[in-house]
Amino acid sequence: MTDTAATAGAPTRPASVTDELLERLVARVPGSGGATWKLTEVYSGEVLVELPQSTPEDIEEAFATARAAQRLWAQWPLERRLEVFDRAHALLVDNAHVTADLIQVESGKNRRMAIEETCDPPMVISHYLRRAPKVLAPKKRGGPVPFVSTSTEVHVPKGVVGIIAPWNFPFATGLSDAIPALMAGNAVVVKPDNKTALSPLFGISLLEQAGLPEGLFQVVCGEGPDVGPTLIDNADYIMFTGSTATGRVIGERAGRNLIGCCLELGGKNPMIVLDDVNVEEWVEGTAFGVFGNTGQICMHIERIYLPESRYDELRDAFVERAANLRIGAAYDFGPEIGSLVSTDQRDRVASHVEDAVAKGATVLTGGRARPDIGPAFFEPTVLEGVTTDMVAGCTETFGPVVALHRYRTVDEAIKLANDTDYGLNASVWGTDLARAEAVAARIESGNVNINDALATAYASKGTPSGGVKNSGVGARHGDQGLLKYTDVKNVAVLKKQVMGPRPGQGYDAYVKQMLSSLKLMKRLRVR
């Protein structure tokens, strides 16, 4: 393991992250009760700013303000709404480095990952700028009676969308899910994680600089169980990203309120490596797929199934790469691996490794916390001999830890990959693409990447992406990622009252005529 950071002390905080900026950002968070949360810089553990904590009354007021702003926003023609995002795209790209500074101070991730994260909202904007006019346009169809009736599908905004976001991609989940909601004519109230409220607050200020009306995008902060109930009870739709356990709580409450929700939850994502894999490409792609964002990507790989015939070769190549990843605390592009988000997360990861080792697993590399680099650092860790009775064998670890397994037949590998309650992401590697695609088709997962671990699916903004089984309900991206923020209104027109028996026509004759016209309409394919 190579340390690029000065282990004697944390790196100097980026110059852009001034006290003035921090105070300005948190000033928009309501906190009438006076309670605050100490938001810290991960590398140093120093308090950056006192983040106001919103009371139930603050949240209700935020919704009232958002609702008033939404009524006006929904009346803007779609093209005018989209112009705001056209301008916002440029501002988001031009401010990518300041955004990355904020993402890094609050999450501790390495700079490469922070910069990649800044690209997500602009990618979402680009996609929906092109697609929204078509998807949101009314669609007129023939009605039940040919020529005299029509039915038009009209999409109207839901109202105020509540977004609850996690800490692992705070800027992306705080903004990217809000963008299609706003484009569709909704207001948004977002609740970021307390640890990572700065970068979404900064992103929202950029949207407002681009012309988003004031009041339309509200931010409330607090611990989930304190803020969640009032937020859900006031929202017209909930977009949640986080753990499966919290997703169940959110889904139950949304269900009771009869509002829709999209739940993007955890995973225990498998990778199947076929025996014709290109080892160099696989090692590089998998190092990112496992350890990117220090293993705190919902779609990252935690289980790798290797063919018996090439097990030793593939294991040795991967372990060597993992052992040589540059881990460090720095606000430059040097480190390949950054910190975990908090010491709590570090302890969770350590406990999974300790449990596995106690039950017989072997650490091939890593396995230790690195307080010499920073409070929440943990080494890239590769395990062998993990079984499903170990916590790391069945539960999401969400850290830089992966288990290698060997398989004899592809059928066995698929069975093992599917032996989980989760179904968020999977990866298949092999030179023969048709064979890899056939394997992908048999994996129970909302996303499957072939010859990549996760980024290809996630960055394909035109295709819906979500989890199956315990990994979620609904999807983001694609037409579905926009339409979910709308209610559909069926506006039906009958030009002439022709339903029912004609004057003087007996009901028997009418029914006979109706049944034969059903056959005729099918033959003529009238819908």
Among 53, 118, 168, 365, binds ligand NAD (CB under 6 A): 168
Is 119 marked active-site? no
- Is residue 175 close enough to count as binding ligand NAD by CB under 6 A? no
- Is residue 295 close enough to count as binding ligand NAD by CB under 6 A? no
Q: Tokens standing for 188?
A: 């948004």
Stretch that binds ligand NAD, among 107-115, 165-173, 411-419, 432-440 (CB under 6 A): 165-173
Among 121, 159, 200, 467, binds ligand NAD (CB under 6 A): 467
Give residues with Cβ within 8 angstroms of 493, minimum separation 6.
Answer: 143, 149, 150, 151, 152
CB of 171 to ligand NAD, least distance (A): 12
Stretch that binds ligand NAD, among 50-58, 158-166, 431-439, 511-519 (CB under 6 A): 158-166
Active-site residue (options: 117, 264, 336, 396): 264
Contact (CB, 8 A) for 475 and 323: no
Tell me if residue 429 falls in helix, strand or coil: strand
Asked whether the CA dihedral 71, 75, 79, 84 is positive or negative, the reply is negative
- Is residue 392 close enough to count as binding ligand NAD by CB under 6 A? no
Considering the complex, state which of residue 435 and residue 469 has its C-beta at the smaller distance from ligand NAD: 469
Considering the complex, state which of residue 274 and residue 340 has its C-beta at the smaller distance from ligand NAD: 340
Considering the complex, state which of residue 265 and residue 277 has its C-beta at the smaller distance from ligand NAD: 265
Q: Tokens standing for 253?
A: 């409450």
CB of 338 to ligand NAD, least distance (A): 16
Considering the complex, state which of residue 302 and residue 436 has its C-beta at the smaller distance from ligand NAD: 302
Task: Give the Å distances, CA to CA, from 202 to 70, 163, 196.
Answer: 21, 16, 11
Contact (CB, 8 A) for 476 and 264: yes
CB of 51 to ligand NAD, least distance (A): 12
CA atoms within 13 A on the CB side of 517: 12
- Is residue 350 close enough to count as binding ligand NAD by CB under 6 A? no
Tell me if residue 267 falls in helix, strand or coil: coil
Among 73, 398, 407, 429, binds ligand NAD (CB under 6 A): 398
Contact (CB, 8 A) for 156 and 487: yes
CB of 273 to ligand NAD, least distance (A): 23
Is 262 marked active-site? no
Place of tokens 């307390």: 194
Q: Tokens standing for 65?
A: 């303000």
Considering the complex, state which of residue 223 and residue 284 has its C-beta at the smaller distance from ligand NAD: 223
Stretch that binds ligand NAD, among 11-19, 239-247, 319-327, 480-488 (CB under 6 A): 239-247
Phi and psi, residue 394, nearest 5°: -135, -20
Position 445, amino acid: S
Residues 490-519 that bind ligand NAD (CB under 6 A): none
Active-site residue (options: 41, 208, 298, 379): 298
- Is residue 401 close enough to count as binding ligand NAD by CB under 6 A? no
Q: Tokens standing for 465?
A: 């992406």
Contact (CB, 8 A) for 485 and 186: yes
Q: What is the gyration radius of the CA atoms in the chain, in angstroms?
A: 26
Phi and psi, residue 485, nearest 5°: -90, 15
- Can you list the alpha helix ranges (DSSP code H) found in 390-432? 391-394, 410-417
Stretch that binds ligand NAD, among 17-25, 174-182, 222-230, 327-335 (CB under 6 A): 222-230
Active site residues: 264, 298
Q: Which residues bind ligand NAD (CB under 6 A)?
A: 164-169, 191, 193, 224-225, 228, 241-243, 246, 249-250, 264-267, 298, 396, 398, 424, 467, 472
